[in-house]
Amino acid sequence: MIKIIIKLATAVFLLISTFVNAQNFQGKAYYQTKRNINMSMDSTQVNNEMQKQLQEMLRKQFEKTYILTFNKTESIYKVEEELEKPQPTSSGIRIINGGAKDILYKNTRTNTFVNNVEQFGKKFLVKDNLKKIKWNITKETKMIGNYLCIKATTIKMVNDYDEEHNKKETKKEMPIEAWYTPEIPVNAGPAYYGNLPGLIIELHEDKMHYVCNKIVMNPLDKIEITVPSKGKVVNQKDFDAMVEKKRKEVMKNFQGGRKKGGNSNSFSIQIGG
């Protein structure tokens, strides 16, 4: 009788422990980002030395550490805070990193996201539904750190810009390759990616690469995930329209400056946002 009671108590304890662990399941994943830069500019407008400087500056801007804080259904994705690095100005090139302070909140239970974006000197709250990604889960596996990962692929349709004529061309296909681990059963990943039966550890989006090099599971200090709340509320479609309008204005001004004989060696480039 005593043995039965002990076994029953043990089973109840294990059940309660499993439930508590599931409820408190949380962690942090640290991603290093990198982008392949291969740009070609009109040598009559921008000399070779300036092109090299520009490529190097852009490369450094894309090399950042992002932190994904997650639980079973929610996550916050933002860049790791660091001291601002001085930007070279002698060449006349100025890099504006519009996405450096963005905070992306995702909720897979409600299938929604809130992106706290700073753009045009203003703060916006881009609220909308998450797009469902249709993944092709393969049989290919590999070890990334201590985690066994499975390869998944998909195709993303993106706009193909013709910057010279300042207009959109037809859509083009962009291949996406992700490696996720079922050992961390959360529907989460870097940026807007997820919808896989495990945390995305590595992702390759055309020339953009995300590689997780550190994971902290169930830290001693409880993680608080709060929804961003400051900024003008817009949906993704309206926000994209604003960005597109601004992009056209910048291109028009740049082309107008070249026609008027302005300083073609002085210009700004905005990233993200």
Helix (H, G, I), strand (E, B) or coil at 243: helix
Reported as a single tens digit per residue, the pLDDT across 183-242 is 999 999 999 999 999 999 999 998 899 999 999 999 888 889 999 999 999 999 999 999
Give residue 239's pLDDT.
94
Give residue 170's pLDDT.
75
> Which one-letter DSSP state was computed for residue 13?
H
Tokens 């930007």 belong to 87
Helix (H, G, I), strand (E, B) or coil at 188: coil
Helix (H, G, I), strand (E, B) or coil at 239: helix
Give residue 148's pLDDT.
98
- The pair phi, psi for residue 82, each rounded to 5°, is -150, 165
Counting every residue written for the chain, the total comes to 273
Count of domains for the chain: 1
- What domain range is 241 assigned to? 2-271
Q: Residues of the chain whose pLDDT is less than 50? A: 2-22, 42, 86, 88-90, 94-96, 165, 264, 266-270, 273
Beta bridge mates, 174: 156
Tokens 């408190």 belong to 24
Q: For residue 142, what are its two tokens?
A: 């590999």
Give residue 221's pLDDT.
84
Give residue 13's pLDDT.
33
H or E stretch including 9?
A: helix 2-23
Strands 112-119 and 232-234: unpaired
Give residue 258's pLDDT.
54
